[in-house]
C-alpha cells in the first residue's frame, strides 16, 4: 500500500538543485566543424567536383587565351587565373551549402537537429566554418595553378594581402549566406544542384570571370553582373594579384576597392536577412 502511494505521489524534486547549463550556440557550432569536415571529405564525388572544376576551367581557358594585353603587360591567362578564385569561392560556399543543406532537410537531419541543443545559429556556424576551411584550400590550389601555369605574381606587401583577405572573407560570407537562402527553394540535393550550378555558371560570364578583357562584354551584361557579388570578388582579386596598369581594362578604369567593400558587405547583410526570413527545418509546410 505504501509503495502504491509513493508511486502516485512522487517526492518533489530538490528545489536547491543546480539546473543544467547548456553549451552556448557558438560552442555547439564549433563542435560541429569536425563532423561537417568528415562528411564533406567522405563524399569523393562532391569533393572532386568542388575542388577540380574551377582549376580545370582555369587551365583550359588560360591555355586557350594567351594574348598579352597592351599597356598592362599581362596575358589574358594570368587575368583569368586571378579572376577564377571568385568561382572557386562560389563553388565551395554557394553551391556546396545549397546542395548539402537541401540534402540535410530532405533526409530529416535538420528536423532531428531541432530536437537537440543545436540551434539554427549553431548549425550555420558549423556549415560556414566548413566553407571557410574548404575555401582556403580551394584558393591555395588556384593560386598555385596561377603561379606555376600562368606566371601569376603573388603580393609582396602586407597591405595587399590584407586587401586580399577582406575580399576573401566578405566573399565567403556573402556567398555562404546566399547558398543557405537558396537551399530553401530545393526539395532535395538533386534539385539543389540544378538551382545552384545553373546561376553559378551564368554569373561567371555576366561577371567577366571567363571573359578578358571585361570591357568586351555588352553593357547590359556588365550592368546585370555588377548587381551580384561574383563580379566584385573577381575584381578584388585582380586588384591584388595583377599589375596596377591592368586596372585600365576594368569598366571604371580603376579597381574601385571602396565599392567592392560596400557591395560585398551589403550582400552579407541582405543574405543574412534572406536566411532568417526563408530558413525552414523541414520540407513540410
Q: Is the pLDDT of residue 7 over 50?
A: no
Burial state string for 210-235 with b = 16 or more CB within 10 A and e = fewer than 16: bbbbbeebeeebbebbbebbbbbbbb
Domain coordinates of the chain in residue numbers?
22-278
Mean pLDDT within 244-252 = 91
pLDDT-derived band at 150 (thresholds 50, 70, 90) equals very high
Q: What are the tens digits of pLDDT across the range 156-202?
A: 999 999 999 999 999 999 999 999 999 988 888 888 888 898 889 89
pTM (whole model) above 0.75: yes
**Higher per-residue confidence, 52 vs 159:** 159
With vertex at residue 79, the alpha carbon angle to CA 143 and CA 223, rounded to the nearest 5 degrees, is 120
Q: Do 215 and 228 meet the contact criterion of CB atoms below 8 Å apart?
A: no
- Mean pLDDT across the chain, nearest whole number? 86
C-alpha cell at position 281: 527545418
Strands 74-75 and 68-69: antiparallel
C-alpha cell at position 243: 599589375
CA–CA distance, 198 with 182 (Å, rounded to integer): 12
For residue 113, what pLDDT is reported?
73
Task: Match 558587405 to its residue by C-alpha cell.
Answer: 265
Amino acid at each position: 500500500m505504501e509503495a502504491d502511494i509513493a508511486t502516485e505521489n512522487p517526492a518533489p524534486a530538490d528545489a536547491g538543485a543546480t539546473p543544467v547549463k547548456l553549451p552556448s550556440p557558438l560552442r555547439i557550432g564549433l563542435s560541429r566543424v569536425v563532423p561537417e569536415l568528415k562528411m564533406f571529405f567522405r563524399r569523393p564525388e562532391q569533393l572532386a567536383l568542388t575542388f577540380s572544376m574551377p582549376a580545370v576551367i582555369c587551365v583550359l581557358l588560360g591555355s586557350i587565351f594567351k594574348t598579352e594585353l597592351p599597356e598592362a603587360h599581362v596575358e589574358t591567362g594570368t587575368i583569368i587565373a586571378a579572376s577564377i578564385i571568385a568561382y572557386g569561392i562560389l563553388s565551395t560556399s554557394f553551391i556546396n551549402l545549397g546542395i548539402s543543406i537541401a540534402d540535410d532537410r530532405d533526409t530529416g537531419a535538420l528536423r532531428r537537429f531541432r530536437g537537440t541543443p543545436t540551434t539554427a545559429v549553431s548549425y550555420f556556424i558549423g556549415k560556414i566554418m566548413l566553407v571557410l576551411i574548404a575555401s582556403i584550400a580551394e584558393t591555395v590550389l588556384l593560386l598555385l595553378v596561377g603561379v606555376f601555369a600562368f606566371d601569376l605574381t603573388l603580393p609582396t606587401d602586407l597591405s595587399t594581402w590584407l586587401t586580399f583577405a577582406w575580399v576573401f572573407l566578405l566573399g565567403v560570407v556573402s556567398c555562404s549566406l546566399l547558398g543557405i537562402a537558396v537551399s530553401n527553394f530545393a526539395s532535395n540535393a538533386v534539385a539543389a544542384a540544378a538551382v545552384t550550378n545553373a546561376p553559378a555558371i551564368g554569373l561567371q560570364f555576366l561577371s567577366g570571370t571567363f571573359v578578358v578583357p571585361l570591357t568586351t562584354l555588352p553593357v547590359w551584361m556588365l550592368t546585370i553582373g555588377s548587381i551580384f557579388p561574383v563580379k566584385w570578388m573577381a575584381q578584388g582579386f585582380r586588384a591584388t594579384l595583377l599589375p596596377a596598369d591592368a586596372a585600365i581594362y576594368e569598366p571604371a578604369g580603376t579597381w574601385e576597392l571602396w565599392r567592392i567593400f560596400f557591395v560585398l558587405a551589403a550582400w552579407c547583410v541582405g543574405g543574412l536577412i534572406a536566411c532568417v526570413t526563408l530558413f525552414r527545418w523541414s520540407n513540410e509546410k
